[in-house]
Structure 1
Amino acid sequence: EVNQHVLIPRPETEELVELIAKENPKAKLIFDMGTGSGCIAISLSKKLPDCEVRACDISAEALKVARRNNKRLGASVSFEKQNILKYKFPANLEEMLNLDVIVSNPPYITESEKAGMDPNVLEWEPATALFVPDDDPLLFYSCIAELGFFLLSSEGKLYFEVNQAYGKEVCEMLNDMGYSRVRLIKDMFNNKRFVKACI
């Protein structure tokens, strides 16, 4: 289910799910940051039934959609309302300090790119899930990467869907922060769409 409060899932996001499931078949704890409709988290929960999948979003309306999808599809994702940019660590922090995977398809379209976008996207999908300031296009990636140092296990991995115009910059940022084995991966359309990094 999708509505005006969530993004419509794209086929390349399915590729991201397949990549994570293939590379992390024994994952025990995955966190999807900025879940929207829940498509990534729910798909991973179905593909990796022995894994606990958690997800967050800033939008209460998006979380309602995600919870309905979770129930309808028989998944077992736990959802929470969180602002990624002002992330509040839970009281039971110890439970969150051993994540195998953090995945995110955060807002990554710059305001200046808005003019070239299709009306069906601008009119039907929430701006808060799409756009970042022109002067800080890596806003969400840098914040999530910093959280990764606290939340990921010693073998943990980050997976991002990225704006193809900034894939190289995301990789450079992660390398500068101290992540290892940083990779930029192309999607089915030959666009530089995914970034993977290890602690």
Structure 2
Amino acid sequence: MNIGALEEHYKLELVPLYDREEAKSLFSLAAEQVLLLSPNKLMMQKDTEISFINEQKLLSILNDLQIGKPIQHILEEAHFYGLVFKVNEHVLIPRPETEELVDWIISVCSSQLTAKEFKILDIGTGSGCIPITLKKHLPNAGLSTLDVSSEAIAVAKQNAQRIGAEIDFITADVLTFQSKEKFDVIVSNPPYIRDLEKKEMHDNVLLHEPHLALFVNDDNPLIFYKAIADFAKTNLKSNGHLFFEINEYLGKETVEMLKDKEFIDIELRKDMQGKDRMIKAGI
């Protein structure tokens, strides 16, 4: 079978789960890893025959896709802000909206880094995509990151070592975590999806990504935001910043919560899709 025929096979077989363009993109990601071909070269070599071994590898990936397994988990990697991160079932797959949050933090902090010690705390490590990316782009900052999941911490440590980022890892529950350390920036992308929103989600998320990192009870959806905000009130330095990725449906409620806790200069931002997705606040 040649490349073009197998790409068409992907499109036909994945119709129940993905549209044709999504299926084409999934084939491109799979073929890039298996055949070591960039998307551009893939387009130019559609008549090239695939070896039996590589054909079987690509068909095996297709089988996993058909049962809803995310391509990032199949390939065990995800791209984020120009870096490649190892991912598995213990961590969330990095999302484009989180890249926008990281970009915002970098733009704010780049002008504030001085000779003094500048410290950033990320809460909710996951794959480590936020703290590792920040460390790569703000090398003079000290980065710490916290997660309740030891499995997630293990994945993030591997990513930090492979990418080359010095990070201080803390295994703890943010709902009870205390520290005397002061930070210039605290950032978090905590669990924020309410149970009532599960019906809107794709099965490849519901069945294959860690619910611990995704969901909160309908009756207290801001539980982690409140806890992190309380921690920030005590542990942010003067003129420090708190950054959140948020539930698109709870922007107003999150802003009001921060106002009630007397944060200042609160800014709610939309992502590229026009959804309320991130907040910056000061003390």
TM (norm. structure 2) is 0.67
- Any conservation in 2 of the 1:41–1:54 contact (CA below 8 Å)? yes
Shift of 1:144: 0.2
Which residue pairs with 2:231 in the alignment? 147
Q: Are residues 1:124 and 2:205 paired?
A: no
Number of matched residues? 193
Deviations 1:113-172 (A, max 9, x none): 112210000111100000000000111000000000111001111000000100110001
Q: Is the 8 A contact 1:82 1:88 kept in 2?
A: no
SS in 2 for 1:160: strand
Counterpart position of 1:7: 92
* 2:168 aligned residue: 78
Distance in 2 separating the partners of 1:142 and 1:168: 14
Which of 124, 127, 130 is the matching residue for 1:34? 124
> Once superposed, which parts of structure 1, at least 4 consecutive aligned residues long, lie more than 3 Å away?
none
| CA apart distance, 1:88 | 3.5
Aligned to 2:158: 68
Distance in 2 between residues matched to 1:116 and 1:13, nearest whole Å = 20
Letter in 2 for 1:138: L
Unaligned residue ranges in structure 2 (runs of 5+): 1-85
Aligned pair 1:137/2:227, yes or no? no
SS of 1:190's equivalent in the other structure is: coil
1: CA distance, partners of 2:234 / 2:260: 17
Q: Partner of 1:56 in structure 2?
A: 146
- Report if aligned partners of 2:178, 2:231 keep a CA contact under 8 Å in 1: no
How far, CA to CA, are the matches of 1:162 and 1:151 in structure 2? 21
Q: Which amino acid aligns with 1:63?
A: I
Write the deviation string for residues 40-87 of structure 1: whole angstroms up to 9, x where unpaired: 000000000000000000000000000000000001111110101111
2:190 corresponds to which residue?
A: 106
The structure in which a higher percent of residues are strand is 1
Match of 2:257 in 1: 173
Over aligned residue pairs, what C-alpha RMSD do you find? 0.8
Partners in 1 of 2:130 and 2:248 — Cα distance?
Answer: 19
Query: Rg larger in 1 or in 2?
Result: 2
1: CA distance between counterparts of 2:263 and 2:129? 27
Offset at residue 35 of structure 1 (A): 1.1
- What code does the residue aligned with 1:168 have? K
TM-score by structure 1 length?
0.95
Larger relative contact order (Cα-Cα within 8 Å, sequence gap ≥ 6)? 1
Paired letter, 2:246: V
